[in-house]
Amino acid sequence: MIGSPDVVAFTKEDDFGESFSDPLSLPEEFSVPLFNHAANANPWTKTSYAKFSKDFILISEFSEQVGPQPLLTIPSDPKVCGTFDLNYFSLRIMSVDYQASFVGHPPGSNYPKLNFVEDSKVVLGDSKEGAFAYVHHLTLYDLEARGFVRPFCMAYISADERKIMQQFQELSSQFSKASECLKTGNRKAFANELEKKLKDLEYTRSVLHKEADLQKTNSGCYSTQAIEKANELANVEKSIYEHKDLLRQITSYPSRKRKDMDFVQCETEKATEIIAVDDTLTCNSDNAVKSVETESDSRKSTYTPQFIKAKSAKCFDKRLKTLEELCETNFFHQTLEQLNLVEKSFRGDLCFIYSSQINRALLTKQRVTSFLFEAEADWIDETAKHFKVSSNTPPIPILNLSAAPMNLESYTMSVDIDRIKPSGESIEMPAESSTSDITQETSEAADTETKGSFSSDKSIEAFGSVSPSNLHSNYFEGLERSKVSTTSSSEDQKVGKMSPQRTSEGSPAEVFGNGHLVPMDSACCIGQDGFIYEEPTPEIAQECCGDMVVNQEPLSLLHGDPVLQMDYILEDSTLLGSPNKGLMFSELNTSVLSEEAARINIEDVSDSTSYMSTSTSSDRAASPFTYGTVLTLRQKKKAGHNALRFIRQYPFAHQAIFCLLSGRTLVILGSDEGTVRKLANALLIFVPNLGKYGETVQPWLSTPFQLTDLQRWKLIGLQRAVSPAGSSILHSLNRYSRYISILDCDNKTLRCPPYKGTLINQMADHRTQIKRGSTYFLHVQSLLTQLTAKAFLYTFCHHIHLPMDMNDQGSVTSRRTNFLLQLGCTVEESKIVQYLSELIKKHCIQGHSKGVNQSFFSFDYTTSYLYKI
Amino acid sequence: MLRWILGAREAQGTVEKSAALFIGEEQPKNCFTEMQVLKGHFDIVRFLVQIDDLRFASAGDDGLVLIWNVETGELLLDLRGHTQQITAMTSYAYVRGGNTHTALITASSDRTLSLWDPDTGHRVQNVYDLQSSVKVCVRVFSSCVCTCLLIVCFLQCLLVLDRLDVWVSGGNELCVWNKDFELQCKTVHHSDTGISAMVELPKNFIAAAMDREIVIFKLNVSGSDVAVMAMRHLTDHQDTIRSLINVNDGLFASGSHIGELILWDSLHWTIHACEHILWEESAGEGQSEVRLTNQKQIERSIQHMSSDGELLVAAVGSGLYVYNVALKSVVAYRRIAHDSSVLHTMLQEDGHMMSCSADGSVRMWELQDLPLPAEPASSGLFGMFGTFGRSSKQVCPPTKKLPEVSGLRSLELTGDLIGHSGAVQMFVSFKEKGLVTCSTDHLLIVWRDGELQSQLRSLALFHKLEQNQGL
């Protein structure tokens, strides 16, 4: 509701002259970036020259046989890409490949070493094609590939450059999850492959042994043949040793990772087994094999070893494995699902995405009240801390680049500098190829990950990449997180929160857990820039925060955050200290919030160490954008359409809405199920505390309703039947008429208490100019949010609720009434606010324990009237 | 369910004629604006007993005894043991180890009698193989609380005397048992009907209502021996006695099926005052007249009485009757207070009272002074009093003088609670914590003062905020 597209699209900069600053307007940071309008250009024209119709995701591979090639697109519909040359673009993005990950024999080592290479994230623009892309490079292991690695990349391709830039952080975290999923599957597959290969080799060795023995006994002397055999045998031995070592490395990876991050432990006992294996330096391959076996399918245990010609382990077949073979099918499909989600969540205009992100981030701030009217309430509970970070973090590439040197330093501290550090040329190179201001800025910060390909094609601009140890973003993450979760250190809780869909053993979903990336220790990968998951020490994080506050000009978020905290600040200081101030609702604006408030806020954050397990990485896995309740939101928007029709059709819509908002159960009585359901659907959006699944609404009931139903449901669709059962329904309606309002949709009448206020007139003006259901829904939501804010204030102002002495109930009542009057509520609106306040109290007191449902319902003894059309 | 609904509708027609009874939806004096429905029973809930400030027990035809928290509505304990309906339930307090404990005694149609500990839910004592079942349960406290005496009268009545060391029972007889559930003694066989009600009188006497008689028993306690002996039979009632209560230290009252209300002297067992309530059937209410002629007896039956020592409220048929004991005069009455017979009444302070009825509603009343004493609207009263003299069966001495119209007040309906879909059997008030009602619809409802609850929730919220140091 904050910055709906309808509003944003027509916002012009001149409308907000500097002379006028609306004290109630949102701070700049939370408004959607304004369209830079020049000469009344159509804001959507810039996409016109792109050769594809909408954004898509491309997965490409740098094949060692045929070079860069596109593998698949999401969505797979060829229409999406249009005439866009995927081959060409694959060549482009693959040629910007990041540091060629070295695998094989590192200098000074006799055995091949695996890198656990961190993915690289690059932003690319192709000005010719009008395509801009977020490119995520990753490598997968393949025993048969050159150097055991197969480079892949996933790219999010859009015609909107700003979308890529501003959503970099989010894209990065989403793609990292997909990548993590692929890599997890790949490690399993690779371990399986190794294990098979080992069996083959051991079988081969035994065969060779037999043959050699046979020859020895036959000839009794060393023939050339025997020497050849012995050499062959030695090769096999070496190969076995190498493979065992590889297997040890690959199996040690996940356990390390699991050990260090708070990971969803689906396979606890197996993991411990692996850890045990890991700890023994001289890795016993049998154990390792066993541990792999337990994780892998049963088919592997029935694998029959084959004799292989003794060759180097690095030999490869002509046919390369497909991506699906490289990762286990299960994981592959999981990844595709994830990418589909990514594609869906980034669909549409940037301002829409951005505003919805802001919206959600703001929602997480008001968990006390968001359950009332927001569909995502429950979802936020579970994932708030993942989400808010990514959505509220300022667009990273720009921020990052302006503060580039620091970030680069922090990055390279833990990385082999020789390998990574630009040799200087890259700083000059991009300058000549850059075409925009942003590019100029960003190119300076671009590290060597892009340097190899710069010279090859001028039309490709590398905008930069983000180092995983971006302390900058980390700071904001911390700032955000602290408000939401103070329990992130407890692994158990996390498991509890995340477990619902992840109970299946070895499910690929487990990789979507949030981990923390930190430079990996070199025990496994000497001299490599690999990363493993580790928790940073709180002190470091604190220092970072402290530094930020002192050295850095306060960033947008620093200003913004206190606004979000406004309620609390007011409640704590203003209202307590000077009640009169607090009573004036109009004063509750940003002017109250000073820099000082922001400073306090930051200090609070840096003081609390409980959340300091935040990542030092942009690679932190966050929950996907899309979730179960999105559907509900969509349904609600559809309901907005029905509601719009309802208020146009029924002149007594105000009264009906008032009933719902004030907690009086509304019964829709009708003989036609469709009509009743439709009306119930229309009125759904006005029901406070609707519940995640709409538990408080019963759209169609054909049995006589009982008293207990009033406790449960606030909106009931009731069948009018002519049968005896129907008459008893009418009797119960008659009996409980004092507790309910009855909307008779056959006779078009409504029996309910009167409403004389003005608020609902705004909410449900039957001459409204709003045409679209979703717009109307947002309109209603904004008004409901106002009400919620009042209810919040009303609930949390101590002085109006606490009795001065023991026999002081009367004065409490009058103080409450006066407060509501000063909030500008009429009698009826007071009822609404009081009802919402009761809900808030109940919600807060009961917390999230949904065990004992001590439900009750309140009512008024008021006279009802019959309204007709 | 349908039956009473139809009855209710029918009654509403008559109600609209006498507009005073129809309170409507606007009830500014009704503070019960919050309700909580408690589900747990599977059959009619007949008995409610308050255990302490926070807890109460409910029992009924499903044989279950449930213990609830009145503040939260939480079901605390589920006492199972009886196989048939509960016919009587009472609580009694005893002192053990310096602490006062409360125990529950229940009697059931399965001919067992059980003592429960409401803290643990254990059945502490149990008596099997009784000759018949206990129907009514009354609790009386005496002056001395060091020992206890239970008197259990099977078939009809259960009485607890917190005084001596014994208690009583029998089939159609009266038995005395001690607190360890050991039979002490019993009376000889009395009659076929058995005891319907009992009250404790001073000096170890007990008054028991048996059909049309009130029998005075004397308990002789000498050492460990307890003897029970019938002292006198009071035969002044013309019909079955429906209710028997203690009014104050010197008086007890009995009410019969045909509307005789007699106040007795507790020490001498003589009639202190006598009223014969005969609702005047005014002409012009043809519809209800038909009903009344058919059910005349029921309409005048005194189902329940309650008293605060000064005023006495009698539930007479579907009407209410308020009597001043000291002045021996009628204070106020309402011939049709409910649409069906009144089952339970309660006197509160300041002339407020409550009644519940088989019509499924609880009504709250207030005694108000009549605007003008000589208002012609009180013609009904004169009619009523006229009937006293006409009664040929009048047994009590004609103590009545001409009614003092100036002393008459009106009984005004201040609010009603509608929730149950069956007869409301009884209710228990927890003062500001609420009112609990039980009903034949298997439900219990806790009615609370919404405004007060809201304030309490605010306090709880701030308390929680303090504990959590913020939101």
Is A735:A728 a contact under the CB 8 Å cutoff?
Answer: no
Give bridge partners of residue A662 from the DSSP assignment: none
**Chain segment A337-393, per-residue pLDDT in tens:** 989 988 888 888 888 888 888 878 887 777 788 788 876 544 444 333 343 333 333
Q: Which helix (H) or strand (E) holds A451?
A: helix A451-454
**B432 contacts on A by Cβ (under 8 Å):** none
For residue A861, give the nearest of B26, B446, B471 by CB distance. Answer: B26
**Chain segment A76-93, per-residue pLDDT in tens:** 877 777 778 888 888 888
Do the Cβ atoms of B73 and A802 come within 8 Å? no
pLDDT above 90 coverage of chain A, percent:
7
Residue B58 Cα, gap to closest chain A Cα (Å): 18
Selected residue of A381, A575, A707 to mutate for chain B interface (largest B Cβ count, 10 A): A707
Residue window 292-311, chain B: list those with CB within 8 Å of chain A: none
pLDDT above 70 coverage of chain B, percent:
67
> What pLDDT does B121 receive?
85
pLDDT above 70 coverage of chain A, percent:
53
Q: Calculate helix-pair angle for A724-735, B2-17, nearest 10 degrees.
A: 50
When pLDDT is cut at 50, 70 and 90, the band that residue B219 belongs to is confident
Is B393:B238 a contact under the CB 8 Å cutoff?
Answer: yes
> What pLDDT does A376 receive?
55
Please, is A13 exposed, middle or buried when counting C-beta atoms within 10 Å of its C-beta (0-12, 13-18, 19+)?
exposed
Residue B380 Cα, gap to closest chain A Cα (Å): 31
- On the CB side of A573, CA atoms within 13 Å amount to 8
Residue B438 has pLDDT above 90, yes or no: yes
> What pLDDT does A504 receive?
38
> What stretches of A240-382 adopt beta strand conformation (E)?
none
Residue window 46-105, chain B: list those with CB within 8 Å of chain A: 72-74
> What pLDDT does B179 receive?
65
For residue A841, give the nearest of B39, B73, B457 by CB distance. Answer: B457
Do the Cβ atoms of B73 and A735 come within 8 Å? no
Alpha helices of B120-246 — where are they, by DSSP H? none
Residue window 393-452, chain B: list those with CB within 8 Å of chain A: 415, 418-421, 443, 445-446, 448, 450-452
Measure the CA–CA gap between A868 and B7, rounded to whole angstroms.
Answer: 30
Measure the CA–CA gap between A298 and A772, rounded to whole angstroms.
Answer: 56
Measure the CA–CA gap between B335 and B289, rounded to whole angstroms.
Answer: 13
Average pLDDT over residues A10-23: 46
What letter represents residue B231's amino acid? M
Measure the CA–CA gap between A360 and A366, rounded to whole angstroms.
Answer: 10
Do the Cβ atoms of A864 and B25 come within 8 Å? yes
Is A138:A101 a contact under the CB 8 Å cutoff?
Answer: no
Residue B91 Cα, gap to closest chain A Cα (Å): 27
Give bridge partners of residue B252 from the DSSP assignment: B246, B264
Minimal-distance CA residue of chain B relative to A724: B2
Is A137:A122 a contact under the CB 8 Å cutoff?
Answer: yes
Residue A433 has pLDDT above 80, yes or no: no
For residue B37, give the nearest of A708, A838, A858 by CB distance. Answer: A708
Q: How far apart are the first and last CA of chain B?
A: 47
Selected residue of B458, B462, B463 to mutate for chain A interface (largest A Cβ count, 10 A): B458
Q: Nearest to residue B414, comparing CAs of B463, B458, B351?
A: B351
Give bridge partners of residue A818 from the DSSP assignment: none
**Cα radius of gyration rounded to whole Å, chain A:** 32
Whether this model's ipTM surpasses 0.90 comes out as no
Indicate the SS3 state at residue B276. Answer: strand
Is B170:B186 a contact under the CB 8 Å cutoff?
Answer: yes
When pLDDT is cut at 50, 70 and 90, the band that residue A287 belongs to is very low
Phi, psi of A163 (to 5 degrees): -60, -45
**B439 contacts on A by Cβ (under 8 Å):** none
When pLDDT is cut at 50, 70 and 90, the band that residue B313 belongs to is very high
> What pLDDT does A243 receive?
87
Cβ within 8 Å of residue B223, ≥6 positions away: none
**Chain segment A605-619, per-residue pLDDT in tens:** 333 333 333 333 333
Give bridge partners of residue A134 from the DSSP assignment: A123, A156
Measure the CA–CA gap between A82 and A97, rounded to whole angstroms.
Answer: 25
Measure the CA–CA gap between B275 and B254, rounded to whole angstroms.
Answer: 11
Structure tokens at A109: 């080592």
Do the Cβ atoms of A854 and B464 come within 8 Å? no
Question: Can you say whether the dihedral through the CA atoms of B366, B368, B370, B371 is positive or negative?
Answer: negative
Measure the CA–CA gap between A754 and A733, rounded to whole angstroms.
Answer: 19
Is B313:B325 a contact under the CB 8 Å cutoff?
Answer: no
Residue A282 Cα, gap to closest chain B Cα (Å): 51
Mean pLDDT over each residue of chain B, to the nearest integer = 74
Can you say how many angstroms the Cα of residue A525 is from the centroid of all Cα atoms in its chain? 31
What letter represents residue A310's amino acid? A
Do the Cβ atoms of A861 and B28 come within 8 Å? yes
Do the Cβ atoms of B443 and A707 come within 8 Å? yes
> What pLDDT does B110 receive?
80
Residue B20 has pLDDT above 90, yes or no: no
Can you say how many angstroms the Cα of residue A868 is from the centroid of all Cα atoms in its chain? 48
**B438 contacts on A by Cβ (under 8 Å):** none
Average pLDDT over residues A301-320: 60
Selected residue of B362, B457, B464 to mutate for chain A interface (largest A Cβ count, 10 A): B457
Alpha helices of A753-808 — where are they, by DSSP H? 759-763, 773-796, 798-801
Residue A712 has pLDDT above 60, yes or no: yes
Q: What is each CA distance from B249 to A137, B200, B208, B269, B308, in whole angstroms? A: 95, 10, 17, 13, 11
Average pLDDT over residues B104-131: 79
Residue A283 has pLDDT above 60, yes or no: no
Measure the CA–CA gap between A621 and A261, rounded to whole angstroms.
Answer: 12
Q: Nearest to residue B262, comparing CAs of B308, B302, B218?
A: B302
What letter represents residue B402's amino acid? L
Structure tokens at B370: 């009549």
pTM of the model as a whole: 0.65
Measure the CA–CA gap between B99 and B92, rounded to whole angstroms.
Answer: 14
Minimal-distance CA residue of chain A relative to B459: A802
Measure the CA–CA gap between B133 and B137, rounded to whole angstroms.
Answer: 11
Average pLDDT over residues B173-187: 68
How many beta-carbon contacts under 8 Å exist across A and B?
A: 104
B188 vs A473, residue with greater confidence = B188
Residue A22 has pLDDT above 90, yes or no: no
For residue B74, give the nearest of A734, A844, A852 by CB distance. Answer: A852
Measure the CA–CA gap between B163 and B151, rounded to whole angstroms.
Answer: 11
Measure the CA–CA gap between A861 and B25, rounded to whole angstroms.
Answer: 5
**Chain segment A259-274, per-residue pLDDT in tens:** 444 333 333 333 333 3
Measure the CA–CA gap between A599 and A596, rounded to whole angstroms.
Answer: 5
Mean pLDDT over each residue of chain A, to the nearest integer = 65
Is A95:A435 a contact under the CB 8 Å cutoff?
Answer: no
- On the CB side of B266, CA atoms within 13 Å amount to 18
Q: Which helix (H) or strand (E) holds B368?
A: strand B361-369
DSSP state of A571: I
Residue B446 has pLDDT above 60, yes or no: yes
Indicate the SS3 state at residue B228. Answer: strand
Structure tokens at A73: 């697109």
What letter represents residue A836's amino acid? L
Do the Cβ atoms of A861 and B33 come within 8 Å? yes
Print burial letters for A272-306: b (CB count within 10 Å at least 16), e (below 16).
Answer: ebbeebbeeeebebebbbebbbebbeeebeeeebe
Residue B219 Cα, gap to closest chain A Cα (Å): 48
When pLDDT is cut at 50, 70 and 90, the band that residue B417 belongs to is very high
Residue B242 has pLDDT above 70, yes or no: yes
Q: Nearest to residue B112, comparing CAs of B91, B79, B134?
A: B134
- How many CB atoms are closer than 10 A to CB A125? 23
DSSP state of A860: -
> What pLDDT does A234 receive?
87
- How many CB atoms are closer than 10 A to CB A42? 8
When pLDDT is cut at 50, 70 and 90, the band that residue A656 belongs to is very high
Q: Which helix (H) or strand (E) holds B330?
A: strand B329-334
Is B273:B397 a contact under the CB 8 Å cutoff?
Answer: no
Measure the CA–CA gap between A811 and A832, rounded to whole angstroms.
Answer: 21
Strands A697-701, B329-334: pairing kind: unpaired
Is A513:A180 a contact under the CB 8 Å cutoff?
Answer: no
> What pLDDT does A384 receive?
37
Minimal-distance CA residue of chain B relative to A865: B25
